[in-house]
Amino acid sequence: MKIVRAPAAVTAWSDRLRREGVTIGFVPTMGALHDGHRSLIRAARLACDALVVSIFVNPTQFGPQEDLAKYPRPIARDRALCRAEGVDICFEPTAAAMYPPGFQTIVSVPGIARRWEGEARPHHFAGVATVVTKLFGIVRPHIALFGQKDFQQAALVRRLVTDLNLGVEIAVQPTVREPDGLAMSSRNVYLSADQRAAAPLLYRSLQAGAAAIRRGVREGSAVERVMADVVRREASVTVEYLAVCDPVTLEPLTAVDRRAVLLGSVRLGSVRLIDNLLVTVGVKR
């Protein structure tokens, strides 16, 4: 595995392989890799001839009061995981290389970004859209893999690729969970022991919403009440949102007639957790 920091070097490598007919896969990350990332890397490794994993803690997607400075950066462990999974290039650009003096372009996907995480983190999705556009331009992959846990992010990237004709296939892999159902996340390390014990309640609330839909509950607000009732069992968990949405537009659904995504965010102390569950009417999951 090569560790590359210069964007131009990655682009030159990619251009050479593309001329040779090599299929390039890409997994963009902010590091602190876990088994969720491992599943993305393995899926990409199977789908492509060559594989790039980026490790870049992107400053533009953090708000002024968020955890940029303390975001975990176990780079030696991350590199070891990438090596073990057969990654070809570990792309580790600096912030100065990604945002050099004079940089001023911002990419925005306002429709998908305006609700849910967009309301909770107003700076977040413009930073995501901008850095993903840059990374795609640098790496020039044929396929990029994202995790379902960040459902709104994946929907935004799909819209971005379609709208800007970027020519990258987007593949979304299922959420990888701990044995108790908690979605794997780099931020789970911030949870205290008591918070960690309470954290799976978010997933259980989504499961309760899905079960209600399968029982025949079709009104979106009624499903949301079912989910909220589960979370209220634990006083230490604060609901930010629990929503029943269209899985493409992420607009709230007044009635579930075919497919829906159940989106949730809760706060345990200073830690925010997000999760989601896709539901198809008439199909058990």
Active site residues: 37
Return the half-sphere exposure (C-beta side, CA atoms, 13 A cut-off) of residue 123: 10
Q: How far apart are CA 262 and CA 220, in angstroms?
A: 10
Q: Give start and end residues of each alpha helix (H) in 48-87.
A: 75-84
- DSSP character string of 209-276: HHHHHHHT--BHHHHHHHHHHHHTT-TTEEEEEEEEE-TTT-PBPSB-SSEEEEEEEEEETTEEEEEE
Residue 282 corresponds to which amino acid? G
Nearest to 60 by CA among 107, 6, 8, 4: 107
